[in-house]
Structure 1
Amino acid sequence: MDLIIKNGTIVTPVESYKADIAVKNGKIVAIGTGFSEEGAKVVDAAGKLVLPGAIDAHTHLAMPFGGTVSADSYLAGTRAAACGGVTTVFDYPMQRKGKGIIETIEGRKEMCDPEACVDYAFHCCITDLNDGAILDEFEAAVNYGITSFKCFLVYKKEGMMVDDGTLVKILLKAKETGAMTNIHAENPDVIDLNIEQFLKEGKTSAWYHYLSRPEFVEAEADKRAIHWAKSMEAPLYIVHMADKEGLEAAITAKNDGHEIYIETCPQYLEFTCEVYKREDGRNFVCSPPMKGQESQDALWKAIESGAIDTVATDHCPFQSYEKDWGKDDFTKIPNGCAGIENLYPYMLSAANDGKISFNRAVELCAFNPAKIFGCEDKGSLAVGKDADIVIYDPNKEFTISVENMHSDYDHTIWEGKKLHGYPVKTFVRGNLVYEDGNFVGKPGIGQFVKRVGRK
């Protein structure tokens, strides 16, 4: 054996039990007791939980947006992921007119390979069908290991939006080729109408970012996307769900037997739109924005009931001076917040405080994203799986600060948040990458995760 983790409590989506884990060549080869420790590194996890590494299925690393590039490179973002117990990161490369899917992915893969501190996968954002050539490439992309494609129903002026006809074409081709369609749902025309009116009235603070795209603006697009997915009998994954009305529509569709998946993010579970009234409200600007208390309550209820499938971060941080570009005009604020290092600790702290179970946290952050997106070797502690393992100390008190994070940004919306319990070790395929507050891995250790298409 290369590694034995003993005396800990293993947590799965359905049970928790005491056992040891034996690792060889990066894989879990046995779970039980009484393993020979000869030649193995032995880690005593007595009094601690042993968890599968989390999967952050929604990040934007080194992403050009809003006249700049998001603050975390692949190196910084995956380093931070490791330090928060995230062992696989999904990024969203942006296909542009004239570019192919695999061409787009390989361009980002070349950037990521030498820097990745954890394993990584890609969705691909589709912005132009290139006269149908992109649809013809779906099958090759799935065979390559890219089994999910994102559509924006917003960002029309930025050239990222798809219309309903294009969305339907993508839904159908994704269904045909065993892929998944991911959707960012907001209504751009209503947003633009609101922005125009607010600017005319001199209403330019961050509060008007929220008011320009409130609950019903997201809900309409949620319902529209769900309508087309149901009509085409195609699977749909709704990213960063933030509003009650859209959430309820998605849950109804799920209960009616349609293959609809719902993702939400920690920022919507922790903050409400009231943050946009703060002096530093611009730092919280992301799209969709945090919503009202009623929406937050509905999200937590769906987390607890099992209706929400995954929690991911939409990690897309910018430096404070870049956020300050919109100090007097909310339309100039780069949209996005940090979260990749906070995902698992936040959800596990919620479990530690009794809001959900540890099993549910593992399901949301590891098991479900692996299952939904075809990561066959990830997401659970079982023989044959990758040894992506987090050791979690439920008694460790931790206060989040930009000073103890491992990203390249200069501020965090999570500043001062107190967590009950915290990861103390992270292993990626049996390799120790994080220990007691310090990154101890090596850039380039991360590997591309080739995913399998839907059956």
Structure 2
Amino acid sequence: MSEQHEHPVDLVVIGGTVVNASHRQAATVVVHDGTVQALLAPDAPLPSARRVLDVQGRFLLPGGVDPHCHIGEIVGDHAGQDDYESATIAALHGGTTTVVNFAIPESEDESPVDCARRRLMEGTSARTDHALHGGLVRWEPTLVDQIAELATLGIRTIKMFTTYRGERMVTPEVILEVLRSLHRLGGMGYVHAEADHVIEDALALCAKSGRIDASHLPETRPALAENAAVAQVLATAQHLAAPVYFVHQSTPEAVAQVRAARREGLRAYTETCPHYLLLDDSVYEKPGAEGFVCCPPLRGDDTRRGLVTAALVGDVDTIGSDHCCFSLEQKSTTSHDVRHMPNGLPGVETRIPAAFTALVTCAGVSLERFVALTSTNAARLNGLHGKGWIGPGADADFYSLDPEASRTTDTADLHMATDYTPYEGLSLHGWPTEVISGGRIVIDAEGFHDPGPIGRFLATHPLDDALLT
């Protein structure tokens, strides 16, 4: 491109080092019509541009792809406090430019397809691009046909639960049929893996001894339950040679099972969450334990450090927020009995800074590996072309950061529709300085520039046979 280019491009970003999962390079990024047109050498002549943004020696990372969000979800009597508008505005403030929400039926008369269509309508207020996972909470005679219909809607991943009997739990036989059907369609099953019979017994024992409040959550959902359920689901996937993805894994033992299956040729993948990498179960010993109730629960510090090591050596594939936007008031009203509490932590905005702090700042994970964990791998595993990298033809989604800069986390400074964060008072690195989403500068030194409801629904493509090695 020459300096005299007849038609100016939309944006030129100078002064940065582009970091992809494979490598990094000093480059000028040329953006037009929502895509990256070129990466130029830093000393190359600049094309005519409507705007030039100087990122002053900072790193440029692909916009985050959050593969695990519960936006506006209702669980029992508890309604999430956010919607697509508030959740995606919060995501942008944390450097995430694509979210994948769940369409999990919320009533007995809502089918997986009906729920997905409802979520598609709700997504019209989104500020970021977004995709959907289907959800399954019971067997239905038309299920195989519904899975095919979801695929025609662009939804090729479906979440299933091995726990929450009578609410969301499905049987091993249903998991088998869903994995089989998805595999035929180029899709993949997502599994919340905890052995329900172990958890039910642990809950009953804790209730009998008066240890059923939030401070005793880890006793009610032991690591053994997670490890056992992972083994059972892996056996099913191996029987079918079908791909499978485990959400929010909290123990290095569970991660090791998945990695061992992968070495044997099974396409099995691990997701963990920032709170399992940065926090430990000591939070349950302090006032406000209800603010940390999530399932699986936070584990001991040795387990946390083992999980960080698994991420460091490449045994973890993605980091999802598992964003659940309940308020502290909602959690506090039932803190005396975890069986009735809304589970989950708000985290779509803090996902990248919390993970960056745990992995890059504290553990020395490379920026390239961090990009893979927070963006590239999630894009590939969800069939999202154009996401997760910076280069010619990619969607122009990226953010700048100074890895040395940090700020103390304060709920009042965040944008999620809740009244607390589990990282309150912690100094976190990895906050974005500028955010470009869809080729638009949405965050810079002047603040947030709301792009309006321009987020696109992304139909996911059939998964690549190779996927990740």
TM-aligned CA distance change 1:421 to 1:437, over 3 Å: farther
TM-aligned CA distance change 1:421 to 1:200, over 3 Å: closer
Aligned pair partner of 1:140 in 146, 149, 160? 149
Q: 1:12-411 residue pairs with structure 2 within 5 A?
A: 12-33=20-41, 34-95=44-105, 97-113=108-124, 115-131=125-141, 133-158=142-167, 160-349=168-357, 350-353=359-362, 355-411=364-420
Aligned pair partner of 2:449 in 440, 449, 452? 440
| CA deviation map 1:106-127 (0-9, x unaligned) | 21111121x2111111001112
| CA deviation map 1:91-142 (0-9, x unaligned) | 11113655444432121111121x21111110011123421x1212323322
On the 8 A contact 2:275/2:354 being kept in 1, the answer is: no
On the 8 A contact 2:203/2:212 being kept in 1, the answer is: no
Letter of the 1:80 counterpart:
A
RMSD, aligned α-carbons: 1.6
On the 8 A contact 1:20/1:32 being kept in 2, the answer is: yes
On the 8 A contact 2:68/2:320 being kept in 1, the answer is: yes
Displacement of 1:192 = 1.7
Classify the secondary structure of the residue corresponding to 2:432: strand
Q: Distance in 2 between matches of 1:210 and 1:437?
A: 44
| CA deviation map 1:353-403 (0-9, x unaligned) | 552011111010111011111001111001111100111123422111101
On the 8 A contact 2:312/2:363 being kept in 1, the answer is: no
1:418 partnered with 2:427: yes
Deviates more, 1:175-184 or 1:62-71: 62-71
Deviates more, 1:436-445 or 1:2-11: 436-445
Classify the secondary structure of the residue corresponding to 1:7: strand
On the 8 A contact 1:304/1:356 being kept in 2, the answer is: yes
Normalised TM-score (structure 2): 0.93
TM-aligned CA distance change 1:25 to 1:35, over 3 Å: farther
Displacement of 1:244 = 2.8
TM-aligned CA distance change 1:177 to 1:292, over 3 Å: same
Letter of the 1:242 counterpart:
S
The aligned counterpart of 2:3 is none
Classify the secondary structure of the residue corresponding to 1:20: strand
Displacement of 1:436 = 4.1
Classify the secondary structure of the residue corresponding to 2:321: coil
Displacement of 1:421 = 4.2
Letter of the 1:383 counterpart:
P
Q: Distance in 1 between matches of 2:160 and 2:430?
A: 37
Classify the secondary structure of the residue corresponding to 1:165: helix
TM-aligned CA distance change 1:44 to 1:437, over 3 Å: closer
Displacement of 1:326 = 2.2
Letter of the 1:449 counterpart:
L
On the 8 A contact 1:353/1:420 being kept in 2, the answer is: no
Question: Aligned residues: percent identity?
Answer: 29
